Amino acid sequence: MEHNHSNQHEHKALGNLKMAFWLNAGFALIEIAGGIFTNSVAILSDAFHDLGDSVALGLAWYFQRYSAKKRDDIYTYGYKRYSLLGASLSAVILLIGSVIIIFKAVPRLITPEPVHTQGMMYLAIVGIIINGLAMFRLKSGHSQNEKVISIHLLEDVLGWVAVLVASIVMKFYNVPILDPLLSLCITAFILFRVFGNMRQTFRIFMQATPSEEQVDHFRSQLATINGIIDLHDMHFWTMDGSYNIASLHVSVDPELSFSQSEIIKQEVRTYLKNEGFAHITIEIEPGGKLCELHDC
């Protein structure tokens, strides 16, 4: 049942990334033509950024498919970490795209140029709808890959909201500086978000605990189970942000029978499953038996 649930998440993730890729790639071509027509640096910057996003989405789609491969003799935990590789590459592309936007927008702050406000408004409305649809699909995703891509699309949605607001204001007032100014504000916000996401991806690569709750919390909760004397060599990590793994040694009362120890083992497994761990390894040890990992 749990395996089927995981497969459903994988199929949904692939579907979300596929849809986002085609929407983004198609609209990027429309943006390039629209940016040239309207003489808007915000639209042109977003167009080239969307092309970068399309590359990122293609990579994310590919790596998400690759990560769904079953485990083998080489990758005994499976290929789930490949989705993180896609997330990392996507984040790098997002950073490069943001730098490009900054370099294109700053000169316009110094020498603003007039833009075609009516065309900007129409493109902004279409951009909000298309990117918003893709963003909401990916926002509900479980993988780190989907979360990183949703930030790409959030940037696009906010960028188009900025374009829409700027175009409405510039239609009535001669303030072309709004075009590059709002682009820089949105870029700064997204850079703040993407650095936080990159930090989380790095934590996963370094096998940090997947939950805000630390090992001591799990230890104290498991210690309340009757028959457990000690817990040690406890390790908790995640493969891709959603597939969590736990490994631990459990010392039990030496007077307990084998069947009673198995009941305790099942209680520990049930608790960890409820905490979101999908792959759990538990070693039961009779109390008093010296373990070389006892101090871990």
Question: What CATH number should be reported for the domain holding residue 233?
Answer: 3.30.70.1350
Phi, psi of 238 (to 5 degrees): -130, 145
Q: Same domain for 16 and 64? A: yes
Q: Same domain for 149 and 31? A: yes
Q: Same domain for 52 and 179? A: yes
Q: Same domain for 164 and 247? A: no
In a domain, 129, yes or no: yes
268 falls in which pLDDT band (50, 70, 90)? very high
Complete DSSP assignment for 166-201: HHHHHHHS--TTHHHHHHHHHHHHHHHHHHHHHHHH
The predicted structure's pLDDT at residue 147? 67
In a domain, 291, yes or no: no
64 falls in which pLDDT band (50, 70, 90)? low
In a domain, 242, yes or no: yes
Please say if the pLDDT value at position 282 is more than 70.
Answer: yes
Q: Which residues contact 296 (CB under 8 A, 6 or more apart)?
A: 232, 233, 234
Boundary residue ending a domain (149, 184, 205):
205
Structure pTM? 0.64
The predicted structure's pLDDT at residue 4? 47
Question: What's the pLDDT tens digit per position in 168-184?
Answer: 988 888 888 887 887 78
In a domain, 162, yes or no: yes
190 falls in which pLDDT band (50, 70, 90)? confident
Question: What's the pLDDT tens digit per position in 97-108?
Answer: 788 878 888 888
Please state, rounded to an integer, the average pLDDT across all residues of the chain. 78
Question: What's the pLDDT tens digit per position in 127-139?
Answer: 888 878 877 776 6
The predicted structure's pLDDT at residue 264? 92
Question: What CATH number should be reported for the domain holding residue 169?
Answer: 1.20.1510.10
Q: Show the domain range for 151.
A: 2-205
Distance of CA 263 to the CA centre of its chain: 37
